[in-house]
Structure 1
Amino acid sequence: MTNEEPHQRMVIYLSQSRLYGATFLRGFKVMSALILTLIERLRPETHTFHFPCSEVTITLEDVAHQLGVLINGMTLVLRNTYSQDVVISNLLGKEAPTDVIDGLRIRMTWLKREFRVDEQLME
């Protein structure tokens, strides 16, 4: 088993819930120009994007089609049983001190200091 594949026992449950296809969604390239254009054209009061050609709404069906996830049937709700410290440690590869954690947030000053984030990379 690699980091790319879910554990074999999970494949059974993912297949039954029809979410198995969503496990392959990785490595999205963020296109800043596209995101900025969409933000500029979004009209939050109507939940639509206004383009020169027409008005567009992204629906739940659109998202379901793109992700290959069914939206009909029973809902799938899972309870979070993970320890917050373990999740942070697994995601960041470092344990965050308790004084920089506020609920489900981590102070940006600590992240910048620990990971030496360059301001130019954030733009």
Structure 2
Amino acid sequence: MNLKALVSVTGKPGLFKLIGQNKGGFILESLDEQKVKSVVNLATTKLATLEDITVYGNDEDLKLTDILGRMKTSAQVVDAKSDGKTLREFFREVAPDHDEERVYSSDIKKIINWYGIIKALPLFDEEPSATTDEQ
């Protein structure tokens, strides 16, 4: 799963694809049907790539990419508008070791919505490029 170019923007719903950079900040394209391009200023806006996002776990944090991978292989993904109990039961299947006190239903809804946006993207099926940290 190669989701490096996909970002979440604090205060904005949905997901965005990072397509460039200029003096004012990063140029983003929304992944919804409208494909709106916008520039965000890094001084006032926080971005997080999907590969860097983690979910609170009981022992250690869980990578979002691992959870999305399990959702992809899941028999059926629940609707994000389901009730809290249904959402929690589903999330126990795809993230069995998540911290149920610190992961809220709103977090689960957001992850399910993100999955709905990216499941058809070719990036979702790509393997990340190998990088070496050796010096």
Structure with bigger RCO (C-alpha 8 Å, 6+ apart): 2
Query: TM-score under structure 1 normalisation?
Result: 0.25
Higher helix share: 1
Which structure has the larger Rg?
1
Higher strand share: 2
Query: TM-score under structure 2 normalisation?
Result: 0.23
